[in-house]
Structure 1
Amino acid sequence: MSTIATSNIPLPTEAAHHGSLSDLLPSHWPTLVTAWLAEDTPSFDYGGFVVGSAPRTAQLLCKSPGVLAGTPFVDEIFKQLDCAVKWHSKEGDYIDTSKDSKGKIKVATVKGPTRKLLLGERVALNTLARCSGVATKSRKMLDLVRENGYTGILAGTRKTTPGFRLVEKYGMLVGGIDGHRHDLSSMIMLKDNHIWAKGSITAAVKAAKSVGGFALKVEVECQSEVEADEAIEAGADVVMLDNFTGEGIKVAARSLRDRWRGKREFLIESSGGLTEENVRGYICNDIDIISTSSVHQGVAHVDFSLKIEHGSEVPAT
């Protein structure tokens, strides 16, 4: 796809009556940035000695097309280094680098002491590139399923990078999709190993309900309609039909809907190896949620660079 269309579902960043997505971030998140900076400069800053602390201006350039995501993290990185960032593009904007003859679009200007600009450079670029890559892939996948008639929820998964989950889940939200559960405390998901260890779906759901209370949903991974029926009967809020074929999941979802209509309220999730290449075959509006790790595992990063001004031509904004 040469461009990424705007889906018919409003993206979080487009809902003007809501706060900024950065308002979701927990109070402790700047400590992540502190740790990233400490990892990159654990002792002496030798390059910083070379350049010194005279004030300079740098341009943050986008060099490949994609959705801009992760600006709060970049702001905090440079804030901790006594630098200031002025953005020329907004979180969630699609940056079309073909609009510049050199394929470079200026998305922000950063000012501060030279050595501190360079201390933040790689940490900021890595974070922005990864977060924007997740947002770009998420939006592209969302547009694909919408264009093929799916009206339900597209969600990411918990298969995220240890220590970097907050950024990746944030990127999914900027891309317009659901972040699914963020951690083991967010929802009780009973997978095959839970079931085998407990002995049965019914016993596992009963135990989960006894401690989860009214506030936590219980989801059960099911390999067949028989298992899904047991999970629904036991009181599961969500049944995940895992690793079904495209046709198989359509038959199973319709059958479950018909069999339990008026008897139980539940959601159906489809999961297991879904990608841009095969998701069309799984699209069915009897399914409430399509979840996939392909929007955040192995995605291409959006290419950014930071260039200190030295009198050369400034790229287009």
Structure 2
Amino acid sequence: MSSSSSSSTTPSSLAHLLPPSWQTQVTSWLAEDTPSFDYAGFVVGDHPRTATLWAKSPGIIAGRPFFDQVFHQCGCAVEWHADECSPIDLHRDDDDGNKMKVATVTGPARGILLGERVALNALARCSGVATQSHILVTKLRKAGYKGVLAGTRKTTPGFRLVEKYGMLAGGADAHRMDLSAMVMLKDNHVWSRGSITEAVAAAKSVAGFSVKIEVEVQSEAEADEAIAAGADVVMLDNFTGDGVKVAARSLKERWAGKKHFLLEVSGGLREDNVESYVCNDVDIISTSSIHQGVPHVDFSLKINH
């Protein structure tokens, strides 16, 4: 986990974050996959079987609670042989060095095959997000960055909980979960309201003391206006790497001892360019590249015979 994560956070405790409603999401996934008759399930019946979950590509394992719940609802049990957030070692269990035994699933044949694709999809996607998050966090730490790497709200509809969980499993920050978690005033909000000052004032009138207000800005002048208006977080959007370093240092020096605020940088940041933005006057680097369009980790589930 990254240095920005809480010292009390352990891989096994991440499941404690999940809300009571998350299990119903799993139910809806299963309902989507089998909306009426399970014809192939009829073929195999309910004879007891054992299946092995294999990891077949490098990455970080993440999403065990979702995998477990899928099979629980299908009447099966899962025994894990690898920890949540642990790296995949393809040489550990296979002489050819191309797969690793991750878990064992037991239950009726129909139940194993009923849950197979749904469980694999959730695990592969969550592990992919965790893997890319870990890669980018590691790259930033090696470059000397001490702040927070965060994801964005550009998540897959209906699958946000899994993807945000994957960010945390990879050592990144999940950022805001939804529109209710924090006020983020982007250019369209400001243009619609009239000015940054008016937009922040309106947000403060309803958000109360417990909800942070973030403002997206395109220049130092806009950042100054947002800070003066009382924004908690100012996002420098679509700046160049050099532009970020100049603006961040200038803003921190100009407002030192006058206003407390966090600086966030976002806009087109990826693994191949993020190092050019490393600057410890920046508190948060946010990007959708750790979860949007990332490769899945390859898993397969094979019934033993």
TM-score (norm 1): 0.93
In the alignment, what sits opposite 1:298?
293
2:38 is aligned, of 35, 45, 55, to: 45
2:14 is aligned, of 12, 18, 21, to: 21
Give the C-alpha shift of residue 96 in structure 1.
Answer: 1.7
In the alignment, what sits opposite 1:191?
186
Cα deviation digits, residues 246-303 of structure 1 (max 9, x gap): 0001000000011111110000000000001000100000000000000001101000
- 1:288 and 2:283 are equivalent in the alignment: yes
| Partner Cα distance (2:5, 2:77) in 1 | 28
| Partner Cα distance (1:153, 1:291) in 2 | 8
1:33 is aligned, of 5, 10, 26, to: 26
The answer to whether the Cα contact below 8 Å between 1:12 and 1:174 also exists between their aligned partners in 2 is no
In the alignment, what sits opposite 2:86?
93
Q: Which amino acid aligns with 1:153?
A: V
Give the C-alpha shift of residue 97 in structure 1.
Answer: 1.1
2:64 is aligned, of 59, 62, 71, to: 71
1:135 is aligned, of 130, 139, 145, to: 130
Task: Output aligned runs, 1:1-317, within 5 Å.
Answer: 9=3, 15-16=9-10, 20-99=13-92, 100-102=94-96, 103-310=98-305
The answer to whether the Cα contact below 8 Å between 2:12 and 2:84 also exists between their aligned partners in 1 is no
The answer to whether the Cα contact below 8 Å between 2:62 and 2:84 also exists between their aligned partners in 1 is yes
| Partner Cα distance (1:76, 1:118) in 2 | 14
Q: Quote the RMSD (CA, aligned, Å).
A: 1.4
Identity across aligned pairs (percent)?
A: 67
TM-score (norm 2): 0.97
The answer to whether the Cα contact below 8 Å between 1:135 and 1:173 also exists between their aligned partners in 2 is yes
| Partner Cα distance (2:120, 2:102) in 1 | 12
The answer to whether the Cα contact below 8 Å between 2:75 and 2:111 also exists between their aligned partners in 1 is yes
| Partner Cα distance (2:289, 2:202) in 1 | 32
Number of equivalences: 303
Deviating above 2 A after TM superposition, structure 1's stretches of 4 or more consecutive aligned residues are: 9-16, 98-102
The answer to whether the Cα contact below 8 Å between 1:221 and 1:241 also exists between their aligned partners in 2 is yes
Where structure 2 has 5 or more consecutive residues not aligned to the other structure, the ranges are: none
Where structure 1 has 5 or more consecutive residues not aligned to the other structure, the ranges are: 1-5, 311-317
